[in-house]
Amino acid sequence: MQDELDRHHRSLFERRRRLRKLLRPLPRRANVRRYPVIKWFAEHANRRPYLWSFKRAHVIPALYFGAVLALLPLYGLQAGLAFAAALLVRGNLTVMVGLQFITNPLTIGPIYYFTYRVGMWLISTTGLGEGMAGWGTRVNALFLGGIVVGLAVALMVDLIWRFASWEARQFRHRLAQLRAADDARRRQEFGASGP
């Protein structure tokens, strides 16, 4: 049982260390003034603790809005829009801004092409926006595809997070049962060998 507990603690610390390393460049309450776009809003951000909270009620809206915003064709405006959206939906700023790095100069082409293809498929299937001129249909397809793909990505991440949370609860429950059984065994041994 002690080995299982030690393994669990090592894996937990390793996951936390990787997460901290991944989130290090993102804005936090302590370093928000360093970011050129966000520093003007730093005063407002420090007065709103939900921007930094990792509670489920603040992360889920940030996840959904951030994923959709990341896949919309608004490259270059995403960080500022993410901050404004975090204020509006009372979401976690770190998650919302972190999701904006999905579309970077290396990934923007394939991502926008995929969202465009999804949007065009939806337009041809549903008939939404077919009467628009050529560029209007293309822009409409980019926005529609970005919204749909963003929601799908956020839903997948949400379901994975829920499953991981359920698995962690199951592990804690099993560990508590093992500890209780071990304590009962020790009490029984102590009672049998006692005076």
Contact 80, 41 (CB under 8 A): no
In this structure, is residue 118 part of a structural domain? no
| pTM > 0.75 | no
Assess if residue 167 is contained within a domain. yes
H or E segment and range at residue 15: helix 2-23
Distance CA 18, CA 162 (A): 20
pLDDT of residue 61: 92
The verdict on residue 135 lying in a domain is: no
Q: What letter does residue 134 receive in the DSSP assignment?
A: H
Range scoring the smallest mean pLDDT among 22-36, 96-110, 165-179: 22-36
Distant-in-sequence, close-in-space partners of 164: CB < 8 Å, separation ≥ 6: none
CA dist., res. 142 & res. 120, Å (int): 8
- Work out how many domains the chain is built from and give that number: 1
| Token couple for 166 | 């359920």
Residue at 133 is within a domain: no
Tell me the C-alpha distance between 89 and 144, whole Å: 21
Provide, rounded to the nearest whole percent, the portion of the chain with pLDDT above 90.
24
> For 130-170, how does the pLDDT look when each residue is reduced to its tens digit (9 = 90+)?
666 677 778 888 899 999 999 999 999 999 989 988 998 99
- Domain assignment present for residue 63? The answer is yes
Write the CA distances from 34 to 38, 54, 76, 107, 171, integer angstroms. 8, 22, 18, 26, 40
Residue 177 domain-assigned?
yes
Q: Which residue has the higher pLDDT, 26 or 80?
A: 80
Domain with 94 in it:
2-110+146-193
Find, among 153, 124, 148, 150, the residue nearest to 138 by Cα.
124
Cα–Cα dist 182/165, whole Å? 25
Whether 125 is in a domain gets the answer no
Kindly state the tokens that stand for 109: 């082409």
Q: Is residue 50 part of a domain?
A: yes
Q: How far apart are CA 80 and CA 77, in angstroms?
A: 6
User: H or E element: which one contains 126?
Assistant: helix 108-126
How much is the average pLDDT of 28-39?
67
In the structure, what pLDDT confidence band is assigned to residue 29 with cuts at 50, 70 and 90? Answer: low
